[in-house]
């Protein structure tokens, strides 16, 4: 028989708050979760992420690898 009163209180509609705004609800052991980043403002998920190739760095690594193989 499981022990009673050992589990934390469950909040099925806990509020996730980002920048003072409720962005979603989820289940949690805390009634409110304050986050800095969530999928709605993260560059990877919003499609604004930029991939930078700083003046041939990729080519430089490939050239060094090729020279090591010779």
Residues across the chain: 70
Using one digit for the tens of pLDDT, what is the confidence trace for 4-34?
888 899 999 999 998 888 999 999 999 999 9
The domain in which residue 44 lies consists of 1-49
**CATH number, domain with residue 30:** 4.10.80.400
What local confidence, expressed as pLDDT, does residue 68 receive? 77
Higher-pLDDT residue of 17, 38: 17
Q: Is residue 57 part of a domain?
A: no
What local confidence, expressed as pLDDT, does residue 10 receive? 93
Report the domain count for the chain. Answer: 1
Q: Is residue 6 part of a domain?
A: yes
Q: Is the pTM of this model over 0.85?
A: no
**At residue 55, does pLDDT exceed 70?**
no
């Amino acid at each position: 028989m499981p022990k009673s009163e050992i589990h934390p209180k469950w909040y099925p509609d806990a509020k996730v708050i980002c920048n003072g705004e409720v962005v979603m609800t989820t289940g949690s052991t805390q009634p409110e979760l304050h986050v800095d980043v969530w999928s709605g403002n993260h560059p990877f998920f919003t499609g604004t992420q930029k991939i930078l190739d700083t003046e041939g760095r990729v080519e430089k690594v490939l050239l060094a690898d090729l020279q090591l193989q010779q």
